[in-house]
Amino acid sequence: MRNYKRLIHLLLGPVLFLLACFLLPHAVLPTFAERAAVGTVFWMAYWWVTGPVDYAVTAFLPIAINAVVPMAEMKAIISNYADETILLLLGASIITVLWENTGLDKRIAITFLRLIGNSLRMQLVFWFALSMVLSAVLPNAVVCATITPIAVSMLKYIGMDDVKNSKTASKILLTIAYATGLGGLASPLGGAMNLVTVEYIQQLTGKEYMYSSWVIRFLPVMLILMLINVVFILRDVKKTDLLGGSSEYFAEQYRKLPKMSFEEKSALVLFVVATGLAFTRQLYQDILPGLKPAYVFIICAIIAFLFTNKEGKRIMVWKQVQGKIVWDLMYIFAGGLALGSLINATGVAKALGEVISSLDMKGGFVTILIILTATLLLSDVTSNTATAAVAIPLVISITQGCGLNPIPYIYVASIGVNLSYMLPTSIRAIPVGYGLEPKYMFREGWKISLIIILVMSIICTLLLKYWSTFSTV
């Protein structure tokens, strides 16, 4: 019976692809390549959610389908599998293997459990706050790639290494993904998508845009979104739900820890150096323009193989390390990037924009609802930056055509550009690579997406006048 069900899911993926190719309206998507790109989205999403094959296998579909049904230049698709962020994730994964080999992962886990406590609610709030604050001023992928393995180390220590079958572990990893996405909205430094938006605003106003203005304008939105996310995450968590043993037990385990070894110190210093250099790139980018965060992590990963223990034996040997690297993480992330490349290269995003622009929009609630829905859904299947590059000029064109001030609506679009919850694309591939089920992500993601679209449509409608007062800053 199980094999029969799996066979059904296997077949439905390509069936959805074919249905999209031949049944989607030609008036909206006139070329076969456009319809095939959308069909690829359906196929990948269905296989990711139902899981008839490994998630990493599904991530290679853009290459396979594009080889049979040419939609875009193959080099552009393949390049996503060697993207800089993939190298960053590989380097981070190797460094976390060093933690395990030196015992640092256990020390980190006990320390966090002792400091935060064993209350599941407190743990969720802590990981949410930490991830959100860091991603407000740092690239989301870097934050998610460094915070997630720390949380996983803690979970492994208390016996929750099977994330797939642990609701608690899944919720913690999903919380980190939600928070890093939300934190990116807090300031222009949160990601390249915000810098794209700032550039368009500067072109409209002819003035330099002050980053502090962004923070002020989005403050009420951030407070409401934080509340929505935290309430949604905690809605089914009881006050009595605990993480592992008692607080006294973790305190006792901490006291029993031996003195930190040289190997542990080396692993910790290496991680701190990699993270510190990635987070402070703006301080040295003029001196070392080629030393991007991805390459910092790769260099530190190479250094990890140079360490030896007291007996002079190498701590890291590739034959042993390669079995511990989270390869799924990198392939799933790359598959999401490749899918986004197909959407943009075939013109699907542009076609969607033309459909939206053809609607009779007069501004206000309905216009905001449409913009939020379109940008949030688009950012789920392509990168946030690509969504911004497509959506922002479209919003400007639509609103100016309606005789509206475009800047408040640009802010509306920025909310949808930054937030996405449903599919394991972009930073959401990271927790999936560590064991989070895409089915669980999708089941939770569509609910919070719907809530945010509805609530933010109302809030943004009320904020239009407030945002308009800053339109020339």
Has residue 311 got a pLDDT over 90? no
Structure token pair of residue 32: 């076969």
Has residue 14 got a pLDDT over 80? yes
Q: What is the pTM of this model?
A: 0.82
Give the separation between CA 388 and CA 188, rounded to whole angstroms: 13
Average pLDDT over residues 25-50: 92
Average pLDDT over residues 202-231: 88
- CB atoms under 10 Å from CB of 471, counted, come to 15
Give the list of residues 6+ apart from residue 116 with CB closer than 8 angstroms, or none. Answer: 122, 123, 126
Give the list of residues 6+ apart from residue 106 with CB closer than 8 angstroms, or none. Answer: 153, 157
Q: What is the pLDDT of residues 157-174, one digit of tens each?
A: 888 888 888 999 999 999
Nearest Cα neighbor of 225 from 357, 419, 386, 389 is 419
Q: How many CA atoms lie within 13 A of 370 on its CB side?
A: 20
Structure token pair of residue 26: 């030609």
Give the separation between CA 162 and CA 169, rounded to whole angstroms: 8
**Residues 309/311/316/321 CA torsion (nearest 10 deg):** -120
Average pLDDT over residues 140-159: 85
pLDDT of residue 2: 66
pLDDT of residue 61: 95
Has residue 446 got a pLDDT over 90? yes
Q: What is the pLDDT of residues 394-413, one digit of tens each?
A: 888 778 777 888 889 999 99
Nearest Cα neighbor of 39 from 53, 55, 23 is 23
Give the separation between CA 160 and CA 122, rounded to whole angstroms: 17
End-to-end CA distance of the chain: 63
The band of 251, judged by pLDDT with boundaries at 50, 70 and 90, is confident
Give the separation between CA 183 and CA 437, rounded to whole angstroms: 23
The band of 44, judged by pLDDT with boundaries at 50, 70 and 90, is very high
Has residue 273 got a pLDDT over 60? yes
Cα angle 52-53-57, degrees, rounded to a multiple of 5: 150
pLDDT of residue 472: 45
- CB-based burial of residue 441 (10 Å sphere; 0-12 exposed, 13-18 middle, 19+ buried)? buried
Average pLDDT over residues 447-454: 96
Nearest Cα neighbor of 96 from 175, 151, 31 is 151
